[in-house]
Amino acid sequence: MANFVHHWLTQDPDAQATVVDAAPMDEAARRFFAPFGDRMRFVQGDVVSPATWQQLPSSTAFVVHGAAVTSRSIMDKQGKHHIPAKENPSRGLEINILGTVQALLYARDLPALERFVYVSTGSVYVEAVEAQESNPFPLPEDGYIGPHLFYDIGKYSSELVVKRFVELFALPASTVRLSSVFGPMDRVTAVRNVRHVPNHIAHAVVSGRPVRAVSADAVGDYIYAPDVADAIRRLLLASPASLRHDTYNVAFGKALTVRDLVTLVARSVPGLRLEVAPPEAAEIKDDGMRRTGRWGAYDISRAERDLGWKPRPLEQAMADYIAWLRANEP
């Protein structure tokens, strides 16, 4: 969402944005948004609380709702393993579902609303698709739904809530399902502790060390955060007549292995090495056996056709991200 706001304000020098977040702005965020001065207003609050939404302007024309709590396990500073969904199962469900309801209620009452975009995830897709094993194909938006974790369940439930608001209130709303996102501002926070393969590779390059992975054959569909931002902006500004669907995959559209990505980056970073290592020594712990369903490629033809959107080449995206890390996270 930081990348979307940055892109939105960069593309339109007259635009303004209000950002809502549960945590206060840290130094990285302050640096990232510094160029925009008072065109960006920050509100710290709980998206489940109606009081948070009452602080927001009633003149808003566009709403992008991406607030969520991920459910991956984390390790604290003392080395203790935590599974948030197990320790507090209600927190993620409350924020990921009821937070969406509050966002929709806010949007519903906006007199100048032009479009609401709900940011969902490819995690709503099934874990595996047998038919893809012999004949790989990118997953389309229709079908193959199979949420499993609380995070997946909450996100797909919110997709259904968005559709019902559209039916009841004629709300101009759309949903985007993102594949694995990486890019500027991609870091572990109190509510998101996911670092995808490109993130680890980029940090290895900047640190001048090898890339260490449990499996060189683990695959994923990786999309650059600024490209996600561009897709969402296009969706917000699209004419209603051009939007033939309510849900759009936003992804690279092709699955690459860890080996593929390291080879790609090594073209501009000579000497970059990939080492297969045991789990305790590897940063990338993705399982090489998970190759279909949500782990594989996503079909992006809808977004290409309706929005005129296409992601940049991954080699360029990785080079841009590495340059950004060197300049902003020395």
pLDDT by residue (tens digit) across 106-116?
A: 999 999 999 99
User: By the 8 A CB rule, do 61 and 114 touch?
Assistant: yes
Amino acid occupying residue 13:
P
Alpha carbon 93 to chain centroid distance? 18
Residue spans per domain, the chain: 2-190+223-252+300-311
Distance CA 101, CA 94 (A): 10
Closest to 68 in 3D by CA, of 188, 196, 154 = 154
What is residue 78's DSSP assignment? Answer: T
- Check: pTM over 0.85? Answer yes or no: yes
Q: Under CATH, which architecture does the 2-190+223-252+300-311 domain have?
A: 3-Layer(aba) Sandwich (3.40)
Higher pLDDT, 189 or 271: 271
Over residues 267-276, the pLDDT tens digits come to 999 999 999 9
For residues 33 and 6, the answer to whether their CB atoms sit within 8 Å is: yes
Please, is 210 exposed, middle or buried when counting C-beta atoms within 10 Å of its C-beta (0-12, 13-18, 19+)? middle
Q: Quote the tokens at residue 63.
A: 């709403």
What does residue 304 show for φ and ψ, rounded to 5 degrees?
-65, -45
pLDDT band at 73 (very low <50, low <70, confident <90, very high): low
At 226-250, the pLDDT tens digits run 999 999 999 999 999 999 999 999 9
The pair of three-digit structure tokens given for residue 148, joined into one six-digit string: 């499993």
CA–CA separation, 230 and 273 (whole Å) = 32
Q: What is the pLDDT of residues 245-262, one digit of tens each?
A: 999 999 999 999 999 999
Residue type at 21 in one-letter notation: D
